[in-house]
């Protein structure tokens, strides 16, 4: 899922599939991790309008319900408009994908 933030318990808030490039400051890709072992490797590949942009990895450092991949804009900048797709991998196996639009 995709969210705008998370609460004090680490649960996603503002779950959405649409962001405003001028007012939203960050995008959180939420990956469920319940039952995963510490050290499990998570990754994404990111696409904008069907074109590969980049990838990122993270290892689960402690047990929990979610792992977040965060994109946050720098002061004075905005989110890039377009259609995004994140393919999510767990230990190098494709386990899902999320899509959203920045308008």
What's the predicted TM-score (pTM) here? Answer: 0.89
Mean pLDDT across the chain, nearest whole number? 94
pLDDT at position 102 is 97
Quickly tell me which residue has 């004090």 as its tokens.
8
Nearest to 87 by CA among 41, 40, 55, 51: 55
**CA 38 to the chain's CA centroid:** 19
Euclidean distance between CA atoms 103 and 99, whole angstroms = 13
Distance of CA 81 to the CA centre of its chain: 16
**What token pair was written down for 41?**
């490797």
CATH code 3.60.21 for 2-102: no
Neighbours of 57 (CB within 10 A): 11
Say yes or no to pLDDT of 45 above 90.
yes
| Digit-coded pLDDT (tens) for 67-76 | 999 999 998 9
Average pLDDT of the segment spanning 40-63: 96
């Amino acid at each position: 899922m995709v969210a705008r933030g998370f609460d004090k318990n680490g649960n996603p808030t503002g779950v959405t599939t649409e962001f405003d490039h001028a007012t939203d400051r960050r995008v959180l890709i939420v990956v469920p991790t319940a039952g995963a072992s510490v050290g499990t490797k998570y990754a994404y590949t990111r696409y904008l309008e069907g074109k590969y942009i980049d990838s990122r990895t993270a290892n689960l450092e402690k047990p929990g319900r979610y792992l977040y991949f965060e994109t946050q804009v720098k002061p004075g900048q905005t989110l890039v408009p377009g259609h995004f797709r994140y393919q999510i991998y767990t230990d190098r196996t494709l386990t899902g994908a999320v899509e959203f639009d920045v308008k």
